[in-house]
């Protein structure tokens, strides 16, 4: 599904695997869903996407964009959002959409955010000497800067769980709400919280 969101086409979400937080069609109901599609008996659900700019490259995500250490050591990240700024140390930092709160961010002890919320979630992966793990902020522009620790570090840029590139020290990545949205055709009611509890 995450790959399909990059096509910018409407999606029909059929349940597969163990986690189905945003998928509403049970495989046995595929035929019924297509009948409903033909009859126009469905709802269009829109989900925000985020995009990142690093150097001359633009990356877009449905769930999250983050930077993570590629080796077993922490990284120091300077974080700016709106007029606020933080300095964080840990295995990485994720910027997630509301629907992304049920994914990687949630696994990292982040908060659940209703998909109708107009906000981002910032999640610190394994924070060092810091109780802060996750905060909810408005949909403002975000800047992540990889601080120099005095030696060469290997840091990945991660987009929807896939490594999208490498980031160098003292470089910045800028993240903001994308003008693109993902449209999912809904045929049956869903309850993300119940789906999450099923997978636990």
Share of the chain above pLDDT 70, in %: 97
Contacts of 97 (CB under 8 A, 6+ apart): 47, 48, 49, 50, 61, 62, 63, 64, 120, 121
Range of the domain at 13: 2-198
Q: How confident is the model at residue 91 (pLDDT cuts 50, 70, 90)?
A: very high
**pLDDT tens digits for range 9-35:** 999 999 987 777 788 999 999 999 999
pLDDT at position 198 is: 67
Asked if 167 and 156 count as a contact pair (C-beta separation under 8 A), the reply is: yes
Cα–Cα distance list, 24 to 17, 33, 63 (Å):
13, 10, 17
Domain count, the chain: 1
What is the mean predicted confidence (pLDDT) over 177-189?
95
pLDDT above 90: residue 158: yes
CATH number at 69 reads: 2.60.200.30
Please state the pTM of the whole predicted model.
0.90
- The tens digit of pLDDT for each residue in 51-60 reads 999 999 999 9
């Amino acid at each position: 599904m995450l790959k399909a969101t990059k096509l910018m086409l409407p999606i029909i979400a059929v349940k597969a695997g163990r986690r189905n937080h945003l998928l509403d069609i049970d495989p046995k109901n595929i035929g019924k869903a297509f009948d409903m599609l033909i009859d126009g008996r469905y709802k269009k659900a829109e989900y925000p996407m985020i995009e990142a700019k690093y150097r001359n490259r633009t990356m877009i995500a449905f769930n999250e964009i983050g930077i993570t250490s590629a080796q077993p050591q922490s990284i120091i990240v300077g974080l700016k959002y709106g007029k606020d700024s933080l300095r964080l140390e840990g295995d990485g930092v994720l910027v997630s959409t509301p629907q992304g709160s049920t994914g990687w961010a949630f696994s990292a002890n982040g908060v659940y955010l209703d998909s109708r919320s107009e906000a981002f979630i910032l999640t610190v992966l394994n924070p060092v000497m810091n109780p802060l793990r996750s905060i909810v902020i408005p949909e403002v522009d975000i800047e992540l800067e990889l601080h120099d620790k005095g030696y060469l570090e290997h840091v990945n840029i991660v987009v929807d769980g896939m490594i999208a590139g490498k980031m160098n020290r003292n470089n910045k990545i800028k993240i903001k709400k994308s003008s693109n949205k993902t449209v999912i055709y809904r045929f049956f009611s869903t309850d993300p919280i119940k789906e999450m509890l099923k997978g636990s």
